[in-house]
Chains A and B, each alone.
Chain A
């Protein structure tokens, strides 16, 4: 590690550098040391040795690097290792969550589980499935999307392309306020309006309305940002061709930002799919298949997970079903995200020659 210091003529542009495997060596060394220290001190938890190893890694790479390479490079290495430690801290919970869900959920997740309802199965018995809950979630989320996307995208178009002055500011303000509405409040609002005042019954549609209250601000925000990214030159180029403003927006601005808007919509869908509170208040739940979202209670995945878990007592058939349903929900959201990325890539402005 000190080749450069040995060379007779030192260039001012060349300093001593540590080899590329240095970071890995320090990482391995600190893991070993961390394990050793916690074994010697009798610490049982894996969090403890990992933390010790992380600290050893940051301090160790700074110390060695400061000695050999100089303080600036040492600081650079410290910053890099802090970023890596933060990254690992962020990824570990995610990975362990997915691991746990897959491990526990895979047990009963099969074709039968996905295509049957809980209609004639008691909570304590094995068997049954989540077909009714998947159907309910798809219909409720689908309806919420149908309501929110036109409203959200049109609002964003107004804000970016037309909105000047007070009305636009007011709309922006209320969208901001809506972003912060807790889902239970959105549920209570629809409950009092739709069910208590208008006297309607529980239905998937009531849930969809509450979900769209949660979804609209997300769609507005992301669409707004995407529309702002469209260069003004493109709008001017189109206007200068004698194209009316509305056609410019429809044929130039929207296609250019379509990938981003789709991604935003998909993320908004992913956000509301896991909502439980409004569904609990407005859709209620049933063990039977109800394919009509406009009347009578419907099942949904979040409610199904909650009820199966609540009735399971911590083990047994209902407990396994709750985990399997959770796995289905995660997989559903993951597939949505992948589809969104696919669309974004497919629709992105092309630069290829």
Chain B
């Protein structure tokens, strides 16, 4: 199921503002790749170009190539809706649908796309909630509102919702920044399990988290405010955190910047 992502020469704009410039990288299947870097350097923007969510923002525009195995996501005739079914996303703030129950939230992806059978749906919901390590906590209240769960549970509910549509790639935009350490641990463990099935890309401000969960780490930086963000380097996580090849990376990781 997991697919390789191969980005080359990618620029993303907000209106006429160039937000990220000339990014090329490869993300291996069944691995966790972490994006680190200061705020405003374009990590999240880049992440959102990987499932064509960037163009949902008014003025958002992308040029360059994003290959998902051998298909260019920005090629002619590609349907962004179909892309987003292949490349799922988990957001910074837990955002379960407030009108829906726990069950309906997990089933939302299938149900809103209109193709399901009741019995299949039950299986998918159970499998996804188990996959998100949430099943034991919510199995007795599947029909209660999803927004009644705790923050950490809500975020795992959102992960369950994202994996229920069986994407090939899972993008996570600072999934733990609104959570306490225990919930964070739960999500990090979950990421470790999910990488057996999915290609995972995670944006994080927490460098220990990047070191803990990821196989490879990419460091982004920007020259100054108003300048486009750039990919400084991408390498094995171990190398980035012990012996990075670029001085700027070492400065950022060891806290010497500004």
Residue ranges of A at the interface with B (Cβ–Cβ < 8 Å): 164, 231, 233-244, 247-248, 251-252, 255-256, 258, 347, 349-353
The answer on a CB contact under 8 Å between B58 and A353 is: no
**In the complex, A347 Cα to B99 Cα: how many Å?**
8
The answer on a CB contact under 8 Å between A242 and B84 is: yes
**A-side binding surface: helix, strand, loop or mixed?**
helix
A241 neighbours in B (Cβ, 8 Å): 84-85, 88, 108-109, 112-113, 161-162, 165
B144 neighbours in A (Cβ, 8 Å): 352-353
The answer on a CB contact under 8 Å between B98 and A237 is: no
The answer on a CB contact under 8 Å between A240 and B84 is: yes
Residue ranges of B at the interface with A (Cβ–Cβ < 8 Å): 51, 53, 56, 58, 81-86, 88-89, 91, 93, 95, 97-99, 108-109, 112-114, 144-145, 147-149, 158, 161-162, 165
A352 neighbours in B (Cβ, 8 Å): 144-145, 148
A244 neighbours in B (Cβ, 8 Å): 81
A233 neighbours in B (Cβ, 8 Å): 91, 93, 95
Q: A241-B84, A241-B88, A241-B162 are in contact. Are A351 and B108 (CB under 8 A)?
A: no
Instruction: List, sorted by A's number, 10 A–B pairs whose CB atoms are closer than 8 Å.
Output: A231-B95, A237-B95, A240-B51, A241-B88, A241-B108, A241-B162, A243-B113, A255-B99, A349-B99, A350-B145
Interface centre among A235, A240, A243, A258 (most CB of B within 10 A): A240
A231 neighbours in B (Cβ, 8 Å): 95
B95 neighbours in A (Cβ, 8 Å): 231, 233-234, 236-237
The answer on a CB contact under 8 Å between B148 and A237 is: no
Q: Closest chain B residue to A231 by CB distance?
A: B95
B98 neighbours in A (Cβ, 8 Å): 234, 256, 349-351
Closest chain B CB from A353 CB (angstroms): 4
The answer on a CB contact under 8 Å between B84 and A239 is: yes
The answer on a CB contact under 8 Å between B112 and A251 is: yes
The answer on a CB contact under 8 Å between A350 and B97 is: no
**In the complex, A235 Cα to B161 Cα: how many Å?**
14
Q: A234-B97, A236-B91, A237-B97 are in contact. Are A243 and B58 (CB under 8 A)?
A: no
Closest chain B CB from A345 CB (angstroms): 14
The answer on a CB contact under 8 Å between B158 and A351 is: no
Known A235-B56, A239-B56; further 5 A-B contacts with Cβ < 8 A: A240-B91, A242-B83, A251-B108, A255-B99, A351-B145
Q: Closest chain A residue to B111 by CB distance?
A: A251
Q: Closest chain A residue to B82 by CB distance?
A: A242
**In the complex, A267 Cα to B244 Cα: how many Å?**
64
The answer on a CB contact under 8 Å between B81 and A243 is: yes
Closest chain B CB from A77 CB (angstroms): 40
The answer on a CB contact under 8 Å between B91 and A247 is: no
Closest chain B CB from A88 CB (angstroms): 38
The answer on a CB contact under 8 Å between B91 and A242 is: no
The answer on a CB contact under 8 Å between B158 and A237 is: yes
Q: A239-B84, A240-B88 are in contact. Are A353 and B148 (CB under 8 A)?
A: yes
